[in-house]
Amino acid sequence: MTAELGYEIVETNFDAQKGEFDIIAKSDSILVFIKVKTRTNQKSRFGDNQISSRKAQRLQATALRHIKKVSNFDVYVDWRIDLLSTR
């Protein structure tokens, strides 16, 4: 899926003290941190409703930690966090 969209997977299952990302990918000068959430039933919430503000802050801190300590990606101008919600 990611290669078809022009992304190269950098890392999978990145786990830090306060958060984790299922996929870290890059496209040109953008680093994308992807969190995959699975709905267990029809009543489960979709999208950003699945992520509390506290969890979002932890994910942002985890992304910054990866950029500073692991990635050494000085060439990346932008980065973002994506939520992939599936059933």
Question: Each residue's pLDDT tens digit in the chain (87 positions)?
Answer: 566 778 899 899 998 877 899 999 988 878 999 999 887 766 655 554 667 889 889 999 999 888 887 665 666 668 999 998 887
Q: List, as one string, the DSSP characters of 19-79.
A: -EEEEEEEETTEEEEEEEEE--STTS--GGGGS-HHHHHHHHHHHHHIIIIII--TT--EE
Look up the domain containing 78 and give its range. 8-86
Residue 38: CATH number of its domain: 3.40.1350.10
Report if residue 50 sits inside a domain: yes
Report if residue 1 sits inside a domain: no
Which uninterrupted H or E stretch holds 7?
Answer: none
Report if residue 3 sits inside a domain: no
Kindly report the pTM of this predicted structure.
Answer: 0.78
Domain count, the chain: 1
Of residues 42, 49, 36, 52, the one with CA closest to residue 84: 36
